Structure 1
Amino acid sequence: MKVMVSICIPTYNGEQFIKETLNSIKSQSYTNFEVVVSDDNSTDNTLEVVRKFAEEVDFPIYIFHHRPKGIGANWNNSIRRANGKYIKFLFQDDLLEPNCLNEMVSIFGFNNEIGLVVSKRKFLVEKSMKTERTNKWIERHADLQAHLHLPSRRINILNRNFFSSPQFYTSPFNKIGEPSVVMFPKSVFEEVGEFDERLEQILDYEYWYRILKKHEIAIIDESLVKFRIHDQQATNVNRNRQILDYLLYPKILYQNYFWLLHPKVQKQLWLTFHPVPRVIRKLKQIFNRYPL
Structure 2
Amino acid sequence: MPAITLCIPAYAMGGDGARYLADSFDHLCHQSFSDFDIVVSDQSDDMAVAEVCRTYADRLTITHLWNREGLRQASANVNNAIAHATGDIIKVLFQDDLIIDPNGLAHIHDAMGQGADWCLCGSGVTRDGSSVTRPMRPRLTDRMHFGKNTVSSPSVLAMRRTSAMEFDEALIWLMDVDLYKRLWDAYGDPVVVPDTVIANRMHEGQVSASVSKALRQKELRYMGRKFARTTSFRGWLEYLRQRLKAL
Give TM class, smaller chain: 0.7 to 0.9
Q: Secondary structure of 1:226's match?
A: strand
Q: CA deviation at 1:31?
A: 1.2
Contact 1:15 1:44 in 2 (8 A): no
For 2:245, the equivalent position in structure 1 comes to none
For 1:143, the equivalent position in structure 2 comes to 136
For 2:46, the equivalent position in structure 1 comes to 43
Contact 1:7 1:88 in 2 (8 A): yes
For 2:177, the equivalent position in structure 1 comes to 205
For 1:21, the equivalent position in structure 2 comes to 24
Unaligned ranges ≥5, structure 2: 241-247
Cα distance in 1 for partners of 2:92, 2:173 equals: 17
Q: CA deviation at 1:144?
A: 6.4
Q: Secondary structure of 2:105's match?
A: helix
The answer to whether structure 1 residue 247 and structure 2 residue 223 are counterparts is no
Contact 1:21 1:92 in 2 (8 A): yes
Q: CA deviation at 1:181?
A: 1.3
Map 1:1-292 to 2 at 5 A.
4-13=3-12, 14-43=17-46, 45-54=48-57, 56-57=58-59, 59-67=60-68, 68-69=70-71, 70-96=73-99, 97-109=101-113, 112=115, 114-126=116-128, 143=136, 145=138, 162-163=141-142, 168=143, 173-189=148-164, 192=165, 194-215=166-187, 216-236=189-209, 238-239=210-211, 242=212, 244-248=214-218, 250-263=220-233, 265=235
Q: Secondary structure of 2:117's match?
A: strand
Q: CA deviation at 1:34?
A: 0.7
Under a length normalisation based on structure 1, what TM-score does the superposition of the two structures give?
0.69
Cα distance in 1 for partners of 2:148, 2:239 equals: 15
Q: Secondary structure of 1:174's match?
A: coil
Cα distance in 2 for partners of 1:253, 1:172 equals: 10
Q: CA deviation at 1:32?
A: 0.9
Q: CA deviation at 1:49?
A: 1.6
Q: CA deviation at 1:253?
A: 4.8
Under a length normalisation based on structure 2, what TM-score does the superposition of the two structures give?
0.80
1:187-219 per-residue CA deviation (whole Å, 9 max, x = no partner) reads 222xx4x21112111111101111000112222
Structure possessing the higher radius of gyration over alpha carbons: 1
Cα distance in 2 for partners of 1:37, 1:31 equals: 18
Q: CA deviation at 1:118?
A: 1.1
Cα distance in 2 for partners of 1:100, 1:120 equals: 10
Contact 2:144 2:177 in 1 (8 A): no
1:147-200 per-residue CA deviation (whole Å, 9 max, x = no partner) reads x6xxxxxxxxx6xxx53xxxx3698512222111111112222xx4x2111211
Q: Secondary structure of 2:19's match?
A: coil
For 1:276, the equivalent position in structure 2 comes to none
Cα distance in 2 for partners of 1:268, 1:233 equals: 24
Cα distance in 2 for partners of 1:88, 1:222 equals: 16
Q: CA deviation at 1:248?
A: 4.3
Q: How large is the Cα RMSD of the aligned pairs?
A: 2.9
Q: Secondary structure of 2:151's match?
A: coil
Q: Secondary structure of 2:186's match?
A: coil
Cα distance in 2 for partners of 1:32, 1:60 equals: 10
Contact 1:115 1:212 in 2 (8 A): no
Identical pairs, percent:
23
Cα distance in 2 for partners of 1:22, 1:62 equals: 13
For 1:134, the equivalent position in structure 2 comes to none
Contact 1:126 1:230 in 2 (8 A): no
